[in-house]
Amino acid sequence: MGIGIATGNRWTTIIRALERRNTTTCKVIEIRDRGTHIEAMAIRMQADNPAQECGIHYRGGHPRNGSSIVLMRLHDLRATNDPYEWPHITGDGRTMPNAHDYILTHFDEIKDGDVVDVEYILGESSTPKMSENNGYSTVDAQYERTSNV
């Protein structure tokens, strides 16, 4: 079994478990830019119960209003809730900061598997890119392939 499949199963399992428990909102998205395709997870850091409240708000320092969105790249698990931190984490001063900023202001509109197209956001292209994943995330595709075995 390849590492991508194992990683896909792990994240799909985590997302499905969180959705069943009706807790913090997670969305798997596709971030695109010139020559760039990044599978990522956006997580709204808002507690639904006292146990989460202790970890997320008291100890983690995330605001109670749900305005903190952690964005994680699934291929290397690098993550932050600050769009301006990406250049320090990855050396990327364009794709991740612009995508993260867009996700912060449009989180409720974004659905699982959606494409966040940085070129389109910046007005460099007239139409947004289509998903390379046939309308759903690579994580879901890997989960479906391995769960039917």
In a domain, 144, yes or no: no
Residue 148 in domain: no
Helix axes 3-20, 138-147, angle to 10 degrees: 100
96 domain residue, yes or no: yes
Domain that holds residue 66: 3-134
Least confident of 20-24, 26-30, 34-38, 119-123: 20-24
Asked if residue 25 is part of any domain, the answer here is yes
Q: Answer whether residue 105 is part of any domain.
A: yes
3-state SS, residue 118: helix
- Among 54, 33, 39, 42, smallest CA distance to 122 is for 33
Tell me whether residue 10 is in a domain.
Answer: yes
**pLDDT, tens digit (0-9, with 9 covering 90-100), for 105-129:** 999 999 988 999 999 999 999 999 9
pLDDT tops 60 at residue 27: yes
Overall domain count for the chain: 1
Work out the average pLDDT over 70-81. Answer: 94
Q: What is the pairing mode between strands 115-117 and 26-33?
A: parallel
143 within a domain of the structure (yes/no): no
- From residue 136, alpha-carbon distances to 111, 113, 131, 141 in Å are 10, 5, 8, 7
With 60 as the cut, is the pLDDT of residue 146 above it? no
pLDDT value at residue 118: 96
Q: Does 88 fall in a domain?
A: yes
Residue 140: the pLDDT is 45
